[in-house]
Structure 1
């Protein structure tokens, strides 16, 4: 393969006997091809994972189709990963070799191919990783990281919706029942994570989905679910929220029509803040409706990143998977066969899936 740019964590892993392989994108519009790739050791505050499963996200087919955010070709994609720790940097104390973890692979903001997940080994910042219980399959754990991170950032961080952060081990607060949040797209990966995060603190959650996914979304913790195809869906959402304190609308889809509907709901209830999972969504805002930051969540930071990462990654994810407050939803649709199946997985996401997360099993 062509040479990659040099990064601080690009020194070869001297003691590794395995060879790394990756699914490479050679140009925009090309199919991914599996070939050998550099095997790197972790830099400061990083860990090296032997990937057992990777998940596919919409950004992956957008990158493949258009080359968006690709700095150099050949390029390695992928942002969701679960596997075992094989190396840790000397300044890491909360992870060790052999730990089972799930993580966000932040190659988009860092530009470092070592930080991509569509390969056998991935380097990740430790603050974007969490240990997973032994009874959680790698294929299930891989479905969580990016959706959970996107949901948490949009809901809780400053300049976004700024909702009080979720309860990790305590009981939901009774007073939060009088506070309502709209989640548009409750059966999506981001929407499912958002609902679970809000339900942990006892908020009233209004969500949309197709009628066939009502039970799924209610089981996540939504208070009421509305059919997004109903021409009167916004009217129903407005009536369901009357008399409650509106905390905001989180649009997990980020399309023009979902943005307009979310904003209409806020405006009818006296105003509030709109936030989209896709930072480029830019609806017209009437009086009383504001917009959370359009900037994407910073997946790379100094000294562990923003405070919300500690809340979500070091506390909520691991503990939530143990006590049942967090489940890997939507369920994984698993493709076995390793990196050779990544193209197929991307195509399934491109065509659209409902209440499923496409996951490729790397190690069986």
Structure 2
């Protein structure tokens, strides 16, 4: 389909010498884009650039850059624009992972991961994004991880960097949305890449990961290609600030479903204690739903596997001056379909702040 073609587009892919980055670079070229292969090793970049050019007939260029160095990124952006032309597509793929328990990791370990995985995408977006905004068209794709949304022991720097990258994606989408630039994230699950060699070489760890994947296997490199081409194309013109999880269902299986008693009227909560709450806004004059109604909505969301709509969700019923006030607050940033269930919130997240202690 023409919607997925990238003919004439110019793309930059960081960390493109191997693994997912190389696969994405090749997929963009196959869809018609000319591609800059960026990495820290010239020989690797050149080899990949030559292979992609030979197999696709597209123009490629190898460029060595340390993406965590602001001066190098500035030079990189200037040279790419001068030699290759205006960049339409930026894929922030470069990343590293240093594993270990939090108490065993050094400050240098933390800084290295944050610099490559979070600082670098910001620097690259800042270097290429404004020109995209001026031209009125652009695609920025940040390669996150399943750990953008869930935690995993021994991955403090990596998980923190990828969670931060997902929120950077949302912020840039808000800032550049009206300027024709979309900013989205692809969040892969376990793939057989160099970064995961340690897991692949340990049968016990490998099987532990596989058990949590509904599809019962790790991803194959080519399975990331479709997501990248889609988000880079006109087919995704009305998608921004989103995260596309390519993980075989792994994220859903890692988030625990609510369970427990129903004493509070909300499934999964056996004790419900409001520590502090305050609300601003006026009474809408409309009848507010009772707690049973809110419990039903929570249950429907859980049944629909809308995990993002359950994490961080607090339903509050409180009598203030004889009136029942309520709020549904989502701190996950997702668009939970209140209207579908006929719910009208008296206060939105910007109008209601609260702290609650929920015991399951």
TM-score range, shorter chain: under 0.3
- TM-score of the two chains, using structure 1 as the length reference: 0.26
Whichever of the two has the greater Rg, that structure is 2
- TM-score of the two chains, using structure 2 as the length reference: 0.26
Which structure carries more strand by proportion?
1
Higher relative contact order (CA 8 A, sep 6+): 1
